[in-house]
Structure 1
Amino acid sequence: WERKKLGDVAEKVIQKNNNNAFKNVLTNSAEYGIISQRDFFERNIANKNNISTYYIVQNDDFVYNPRISNLAPYGPINRNKTGYTGIISPLYYVFRVLNINTAFIEWYFKTTCWHKFMYQHGDSGARSDRFSIKDNELKKLPIKLPADDMEQEKIAKTLTSLDNTLQLHERKCEELALIKKALLQKLFPKKDEFKPEVRYKNFSDAWEQRKLGEVTEYIKGFAFKSKDYKKSGHRIIRVSDLGKDSIINNNDSIFVTDEISKQQNKYKINKNEIIITTVGSKAELKESAVGRPIIVRNSLGYLLNQNLVKIHGKNNKDSRFIYYQLLQPRYSQYIATIQRGNANQANIAISDLWNYRIFITKHNEQQKIGNFFQQLDFLITLHQRKLEKLKQLKKFLLQNMFI
């Protein structure tokens, strides 16, 4: 590969927007790339009387934004792929690449290869949110690239193809989540109604409303003693071990011995049991929120800690059917009315939780609905895992296909 400087392969764009010839103001976001300022901020930020000093940015031009963030510790460098010419604040550095593969350079700036140079030749300046580097220094930024144009093109095409596949999977996950949200409304009755909008064939009877405490049995978690904690053994599940919809692996997981596990056997978490947080933050059932439910997909012999309660359907009531009703907005709205305490440490009383009213139908219909949503969740999880693997692959290639 050849070692070049940015000034060897690109020229700074200094063309100003004289006579206000262009009015579409762009911004360079670390997360979204170069987009219309109006789309990003949902309003116009630039003063239309001052845009004559803005730089003209043509399609495929690059823009360096010195604003730093967690996503861009030295500021993002992105390519204008909007398909049109726009203008951008003179606070940004605009440049146009020459005689090299534009897509290759775009991917190069998505790596961290250039970060060391920025660290050595710039500083954060007077403002902690803005990186400072002189134009003459930025032109010295070293770029290593294949001498063969074909290799540049192949690397760029590989990463672009992978990125397109990744975006398709992201959209698929979003679409499946929207489908699930819609079906949660259609396969269960709406408020003050007793039949769902969509039903399985051969079911037509009206549903009943029952209190959650009437159709479930529960066990509150146990306050395990810290002196009994071990680095291995039988895992104790705490509020912090609950992810968005499942138990997650934590680096700080705690365990107890076989002996203690046998003594506290009734606190073992079983397949298809529902876990609900009784302590947490006042929030819309986010991961740390009080009242948030998850369902246990596999029986792993975990033990339930305090501030949690596990429930399951009784008298032939399907726990999965009950769980999916707890994912509806009206459940989170009910939790908001019964939670007590401050924003960071809210709690709910079990007696109040049991007064929440859910719908009950015949056991066969419960099973069909519970099984359907379970299979839908499996499909969502499958696509999420594929998406995560694609993200890991992209990260690996960005780390290993450039110098």
Structure 2
Amino acid sequence: MNKKKESKVVPNVRFKGFTDDWKQRKLTEIVNRVNKSSNSDVLPKVEFEDIVSGEGRLNKDISSKFDSRKGTLFEPENILYGKLRPYLKNWLFSDFEGVALGDFWVFEATDVSVPSFDYYLIQSDDYQKVANDTSGTKMPRSDWKNVSSTDFAIPSKDEQKQIGAFFKQLDDTITLHQQKITLLIKLKKAMLEKMFPKKGTVIPEFRFNGFANAWEQRKLEEIITEYKETVDSDCTLPILTSSKTEGVILQEEHFGRKQQHDITGYNILPRNYCTYRNRSDGVDFTFNINKCCDKGIISKFYPVFSGKNSDVFFLSLVLNNSDEVVREIAYTCTGTGQKVLSFLNLQKMKVRVPSFDEQKEIATYFDSLDNLIILHQRKIDKIKNMKKAMLNQMFI
């Protein structure tokens, strides 16, 4: 009887001690697709919205999320793979028993594979290319017939365990930094509430030693000054954008590529100066400080200003977080559809501020929190880039 001839290959990078060729296997030889239906009202339910895209972790506590909807039963060390819009990368390596609701495939390892290895196999470029070969435009889904019949290379189970452990360590490190970011954001939110006077008061709940005077109400025109310097079309300064979530950032980093614009009339934004987009679909204007470069340019719809006998970073905290200011912005901006907050109208607003020295203390404290958040985020980005590179090198 003739035996099936197996194609053998090796990855670019592997752990010491492993030299055997990897063997080609169809996905159905590597994993079993679980089809156990359940409508248990005791087990927690997992939906797409519960998973952080591309990170394989839950974004909330679902331990008490119980209902009687029917889904696919999964067990610890099963893999949930979101087949709907697979480019969203909704996957999860379970460490609990539950029910997957919606368009999930649930995989369990066969006797030739290790669950942790299988989890990173589905994240490899080889698998992703096949899984994203979909039909339809509005609701694309991975094609099981196509994916299940595709060959993937796998090593011995011992090598699989090493690979799975390596990538799990990377994921655990990412999660650790993410948890620290979450705690820092919670701390920042709590301290913003304590270090600024509540409505109807002039003294905050918490303040640094040596400061006792009441905060005073001042017109912004008394404590900020506009910086107005524009450029011609041949300017070579970096183009910036001001994002609600990323702050002031290089435009090509924000969009992933360089944008083609006529930059005539763009405003120059020096380092440590503040800007905001003076148009908004609502009344949520965001004030950001340029910390990313010594000098850049930004659209003419972004006024630029600095502090006048005041700390501009402190003022950005007030403008972004004071309930009184947010309400006053809502009354001050103009327009029926898109709201406009001109710099002239911004200057007419009143804010409650402490002495300049106390402003600097508060600004320094929150600046240190922001720097810690940025530091952890950079470490996350670095590890994610390493993981992506190693997935390409350690899988066929």
TM-score by length of 1: 0.76
* Aligned counterparts of 2:62 and 2:116: Cα–Cα separation in 1: 24
Query: Quick check: 1:233 aligned with 2:236?
Result: yes
Aligned match for 1:213, one of 206, 221, 239: 221
Aligned match for 1:349, one of 331, 342, 347: 342
Question: Mean Cα displacement is larger for which, 347-356 or 28-37?
Answer: 28-37
Identity of aligned residues (%): 24
Does the aligned pair in 2 maintain the 1:221–1:304 contact within 8 Å? no
* Aligned counterparts of 1:21 and 1:215: Cα–Cα separation in 2: 61
Once the two structures are superposed, the pairs formed by residues 67-78 of structure 1 within 5 Å of their partners are: 67-72=84-89, 78=92
Change (3 A) 1:202 1:324: same
Q: 1:288 is matched with which residue?
A: none
Q: Which runs of 5+ in 1 are unaligned?
A: 285-290
Query: Quick check: 1:133 aligned with 2:144?
Result: yes
What do residues 168-195 of structure 1 show as CA deviations (whole Å, max 9, x unaligned)? 1111112112212222222222222111
* Aligned counterparts of 2:348 and 2:335: Cα–Cα separation in 1: 19
* Aligned counterparts of 1:356 and 1:21: Cα–Cα separation in 2: 56
Change (3 A) 1:369 1:386: same
Q: 1:365 is matched with which residue?
A: 358
Aligned match for 2:48, one of 17, 21, 29: 29
Aligned match for 1:313, one of 307, 327, 344: 307
Q: Secondary structure at the match of 2:209?
A: coil
Once the two structures are superposed, the pairs formed by residues 145-224 of structure 1 within 5 Å of their partners are: 145-147=154-156, 149-220=157-228, 222=230
Change (3 A) 1:172 1:15: closer
Once the two structures are superposed, the pairs formed by residues 226-375 of structure 1 within 5 Å of their partners are: 228-230=232-234, 233-235=236-238, 237=240, 244-250=246-252, 251-252=258-259, 268-282=268-282, 284=284, 291-297=285-291, 300-303=294-297, 305-314=299-308, 316-330=309-323, 331-341=325-335, 343=337, 345-375=338-368
Q: 2:120 is matched with which residue?
A: 107
CA shift, 1:163, in A, is 0.3
Does the aligned pair in 2 maintain the 1:235–1:253 contact within 8 Å? no
Change (3 A) 1:241 1:154: same
Letter in 2 for 1:110: Q
Q: Secondary structure at the match of 1:143?
A: strand
Change (3 A) 1:164 1:278: same
Query: Quick check: 1:394 aligned with 2:387?
Result: yes
Q: Secondary structure at the match of 1:311?
A: strand
Change (3 A) 1:34 1:96: farther
* Aligned counterparts of 1:361 and 1:146: Cα–Cα separation in 2: 65
Change (3 A) 1:90 1:141: farther
Count, aligned residues: 364
What do residues 76-129 of structure 1 show as CA deviations (whole Å, max 9, x unaligned)? 5654322x2x45579755443222211101111122312444567xx5379734
Letter in 2 for 1:161: Q
Does the aligned pair in 1 maintain the 2:42–2:67 contact within 8 Å? no
Query: Quick check: 1:81 aligned with 2:95?
Result: yes
Q: Secondary structure at the match of 2:218?
A: strand
Letter in 2 for 1:143: F
TM-score by length of 2: 0.77
CA shift, 1:357, in A, is 2.1
* Aligned counterparts of 2:102 and 2:319: Cα–Cα separation in 1: 52
* Aligned counterparts of 2:60 and 2:320: Cα–Cα separation in 1: 36
Q: Secondary structure at the match of 1:113?
A: helix
Letter in 1 for 2:274: I
Letter in 1 for 2:249: I
Does the aligned pair in 2 maintain the 1:27–1:36 contact within 8 Å? no
Does the aligned pair in 2 maintain the 1:241–1:248 contact within 8 Å? no
* Aligned counterparts of 1:218 and 1:37: Cα–Cα separation in 2: 43
